[in-house]
Amino acid sequence: MGRAARAWSEEGIYLALDTSTTLGSVCLAEGSRVLAERVIRGQRSHSSDLIPTIDVVLQEAGANLSQLAGLVLGAGPGSFTGVRVAAATAKGLAHALDIPLWAISSLEAGAAAVDIERVEPSVDIGGAADPMGGQASALSDEERASPRYVLFDARSDRVYGACYRPTRNGFDVLIPPHSTTIGAVLSGGVPFSLFAGDGAQKHADEIRGAGFTLLPAPLGMPTAAGLLRALANSPSRDSVVDVARWQPEYLRSSSAARCSGSGP
């Protein structure tokens, strides 16, 4: 059963979560001000660690579930299992607590996270240990204002991608989320862009060889704080009307469905 859509407000406590990629994260915020945040490393840990991580974040902030004004979810694309884990958790909490749910593209969260300055422990991105954050402060004004093409690794030469141009009120979507190959991305008339995300890191040689700039890892990876920034930059975005029927942005079916011939 649906409910009236609601616009986001700076007043209230919000829980944000994303497990669409190898870097999962959970944060609690008052409006867009982060109160506590935790990273979950490795997609195999997402299903077992998400609920305990939510508990830790609530404890650190001295809050409880009954205080939540809403939930902010990374809607994918990304790992089929990872996206499903966060979606099921958020939908269950939204139903149980009778609070609104905002669903934001994980690719947009990755674009927004580029501008968040922080220093976190190391995390494995693209097969190498890289510091989580800190590099945002090293971006030039020109780089901050440039379109950013976020790519998530979808195995082999495939990627999930979207291109965003920063504005005063969030982003203009130059290329919407889609599933493609790195070759198609680079031959498709890309606007002047910075590339970021684990898919960009995986195909670093091709991207640099085509004359584009690659932001250092892990910039472009979706984070819960990135979700909140994306939502705060476009506060008129409505919450999900029918949480029970809402589905994430898988963009393509699971590997099991593809192997059985029931999916693309």
Q: Which pLDDT does position 41 carry in this prediction? A: 80
DSSP state of 10: S
Domain total in the chain: 1
| CA atoms of 84 and 79, how far apart (whole Å) | 8
Residue 247 vs residue 138, higher pLDDT: 247
Does some domain include residue 27? yes
Rounded-to-integer distance, Cα 210 and Cα 188, Å: 12
- 138 belongs to a structural domain: no
Give the closest residue to 24 by CA, choosing from 161, 125, 156, 139: 125
pLDDT of res. 190: 82
Where helices occur in the chain by DSSP H, the ranges are 46-61, 80-97, 106-113, 141-145, 182-186, 198-202, 204-209, 224-233, 255-260
* pTM (two decimals): 0.87
Could you tell me if residue 238 is inside a domain?
A: yes
Residue 260's pLDDT is 33
Tokens representing residue 166 in the block: 């920063």
Any domain includes 61:
yes
The answer to whether 22 and 132 are in contact (CB under 8 A) is no
Token output for 60: 């650190």
Q: What is the pLDDT of residues 56-110, one digit of tens each?
A: 999 999 999 999 999 999 999 999 999 999 999 999 999 999 999 999 999 999 9
In a domain, 236, yes or no: yes
**What pLDDT, on a 0 to 100 scale, did the predictor assign at position 168?**
87
CA pair distance 170, 219, nearest whole angstrom: 17
Which pLDDT score is estimated for 255? Answer: 44
Domain assignment present for 244 = yes
Mean pLDDT, residues 8-21 taken together: 92
Are 111 and 164 within 8 A, CB to CB? yes
Tell me what pLDDT residue 64 has. 96
- What average pLDDT does range 34-43 have in this prediction? 86
Residue 53 lies in a domain: yes
**Cβ-based neighbour number of residue 36 at 10 Å:** 16
- Cα–Cα distances in Å, from 107 out to 153, 161, 186, 230? 11, 7, 18, 10
Enclosing domain of residue 35: 13-108+223-260
Q: What is the mean pLDDT of residues 3-8?
A: 74
With beta carbons less than 8 A apart as the criterion, state whether 86 and 19 touch: yes
> How far, in Å, CA of 73 to CA of 87, rounded?
7
Residue 88 in tokens: 């099921």
Phi, psi for residue 32 in degrees, rounded to 5 = -100, 5
Which pLDDT belongs to residue 188? 83
Confidence of residue 121 (pLDDT cuts 50, 70, 90): very low
Of the chain, the end-to-end C-alpha distance in Å amounts to: 30
Alpha-carbon gap, residue 72 to 70, rounded angstroms: 7
Q: Flag whether pLDDT at 18 surpasses 70.
A: yes
18 forms bridges with which residues in the sheet? Answer: 25
Residue 26 lies in a domain: yes
Instruction: Quote the pLDDT of residue 126.
Output: 36
User: Which pLDDT score, from 0 to 100, does residue 263 have?
Assistant: 36
Of 73-82, 119-128, 140-149, 209-218, the range with the lowest mean pLDDT is 119-128
Would the pLDDT of 130 be above 60? Answer: no
| CA gap 253, 264 in Å, rounded | 6
CA 93 to chain centre: 19
Q: What is the CATH number of the domain that holds 253?
A: 3.30.420.40
What is the pLDDT, as a whole number, of residue 261? 36
Asked if residue 76 lies in contact with residue 20, where contact means CB atoms within 8 angstroms, the answer is yes
Residue 86 backbone dihedrals phi, psi, to 5 degrees: -65, -40
**127 pLDDT higher than 60:** no
Classify each residue of 206-230 as buried b or exposed e, where b means 16 or more C-beta atoms within 10 Å of its C-beta.
Answer: bbeeeebebbbbbbbbbbbbbbbbb
The predicted-structure confidence for 184-210, as pLDDT tens digits, reads as follows 999 988 877 899 999 999 999 999 999
